[in-house]
Amino acid sequence: MANLKAIRNRIKSVQSTQKITKAMKMVAAAKVRRAQQKMMAARPFTQAVVSMLKRAVSEVADIDLQGLQLLEKRPIKSVLLIILSSDRGLCGGYNSVIFRETMIRIKKLQDEGKEVKLILVGLKAAAFFKSIKIEKLKQHTNLPAIPSVEVARLIAQEAADFYIKKEVDAVELIGTDFINMISSKVINTKVLPIDLPHQEDVKLPTAETLFEPSILEVMKLELLPKYMENVIFQGLLEASASELAARMNAMTNASNNARDLISSLTLEYNKARQAGITQELLEIVGGAEALKG
């Protein structure tokens, strides 16, 4: 009977866990749809900003572009990596894959003799890199499940300031690219210095294109900041959708595993119970036979 009681308690425990994983799956499924819609809606705007920047650069001489600090290229001695992770766990191997690719990139840069600095986004990144001796310039944690433009603008401004002050010579963004509900891939996006196309590769603006107060002012005050802001915002949205999809899949697998375990434990319980009943019947029959003898 003690064994039966232990199995019953185990079944109840697994059933309680299954209720939690099912609830988390439903929450993640609801959020991932909104994150996916917001991510898909942002892609055309990001592409439009990039297109406008390409059109604007075709109107400016190379010597004039040298006055724009975000376009300044110099020997790369220090690289800033912006690492996008999650604030919460229970999303399968989502974070571990990002950290593995990040460490590969860090080792490659260090082997090239370059200094690495970090901006960490998410509690998981902060915890992972806490004991690693790499300079952390900024940390952003406890962010909304679906990122806001304000967060992207803040991170973009921080990265731009470090670049303009020549504390770093390049900025890269390491996150995930959302493919579909069951898969995503880690990507490394170059943020700074901004790579602009050769003028001969860009279609010139039409005669109706006007830039006020001037092309250089528009690029400095609007296009270049918007370019950085939207690259980072798009990265945050892709990472958010990937994380929520990974959590939904992880909770689905956990719920299925709990179901299988409950079925296995129930079968074990029934076998043990049947064995107990059989043993009691044998004892009764044996006692009856003894009384007859």
C-beta of residue 248 within 8 angstroms of C-beta of residue 28: yes
Considering the candidates 91, 118, 120, 232, report the single residue annotated as catalytic.
91
* Strand partners for 135: 117
Q: What would the two tokens of residue 17 be?
A: 């866990």
Return d(Cα 134, Cα 128) in angstroms, integer.
Answer: 12
Run of H or E residues at 137? strand 135-140
Contacts (Cβ under 8 Å, ≥6 apart) of 50: 227
User: Other CB atoms closer than 10 Å to residue 118's CB: what's the count?
Assistant: 23
Return d(Cα 15, Cα 135) in angstroms, integer.
Answer: 45
Active site residue 91: yes
Half-sphere exposure of 173 (CA within 13 A, CB side): 28
C-beta of residue 230 within 8 angstroms of C-beta of residue 189: no
Contacts (Cβ under 8 Å, ≥6 apart) of 129: 83, 118, 120, 136
Return d(Cα 6, Cα 95) in angstroms, integer.
Answer: 36
Catalytic residue ranges: 91
